Amino acid sequence: MTTLLLDAEALYADLVRGVQRLMQPDAALVGIWSGGAWLAERLQQDLKIPGQHGVISSALHRDDFGSKGMNASADHTKLPFDINGRHILLIDDVLYTGRTTRAVINELFDFGRPASVTLAVLVDRGGRELPIEPAFSAARVAVSPSQRLSLIKRDGEGDGERGRFSFDLRGD
């Protein structure tokens, strides 16, 4: 495991401010499983947003399920509110090719017709393969195509029940 000079907690503080700016009346947070769902849960608490955040999985609409397999993560979609007419703010930890975002937008539209869909991410690592851009990213980092950047959540270490975030970088 490589320890990165990328302070996930500091970036999270920037994400809080970015999401605060993007939130509009009748907006709802939906976290992309799994890293984005951790972030959305914490944002919902920290921004004192009434109600529950949503969680969305890309599994049923991925274009690479032939290689990744259609695993049980399909069960992770939980939208505990009617998305029709809502302004949906998608939250993710890392944005790379944009293929996961495309898949979760398809999943979202299986549930209804939101008024708008916006994306905020902790880290944008570039390398887009689709015309998808975040409205907010706390950082843009150059990561080699052979590397993978992952958000790690450690429960209950020094930050009460909310857990602390860090990044792990693997590969050459």
Ligand X SMILES: O=P(O)(O)OC[C@H]1O[C@H](OP(=O)(O)OP(=O)(O)O)[C@H](O)[C@@H]1O
From the list ligand X, ligand URA, none, pick the one residue 149 interacts with, judged by a Cβ distance below 5 to 8 Å according to partner type.
ligand URA
Please report, as residue ranges, which positions from 16 to 55 form the binding site for ligand X (by CB under 6 A).
32, 34-36
Q: Do 150 and 166 form a contact (C-beta atoms < 8 A)?
A: no
Shortest Å, Cβ 45 to ligand X: 20
Q: Which secondary structure element, helix H or strand E, spans residue 103, and what is its range?
A: helix 99-109
How far, in Å, CA of 138 to CA of 160, rounded? 23
Q: Which secondary structure element, helix H or strand E, spans residue 140, and what is its range?
A: strand 136-140
How far, in Å, CA of 96 to CA of 8, rounded? 17
Here's the x/- map for ligand X, 133-162, by CB under 6 A: it reads as: -----------------x------------
Alpha-carbon separation of residue 89 from 15, 17, 56, 118, 144 (angstroms): 12, 14, 12, 5, 28
Here's the x/- map for ligand URA, 87-126, by CB under 6 A: it reads as: -------x-x----------------------------x-
Which residue(s) pair with 18 in the sheet?
A: none
Here's the x/- map for ligand X, 76-115, by CB under 6 A: it reads as: ----------------xxxxxxxxx---------------
Of how many residues is the chain composed? 172
Residue among 150, 162, 164, 168 that touches ligand URA (CB under 6 A) = 150
Please report, as residue ranges, which positions from 8 to 27 form the binding site for ligand URA (by CB under 6 A).
none
Which residues sit at the interface with ligand X, rule CB under 6 A?
Answer: 32, 34-36, 92-100, 150
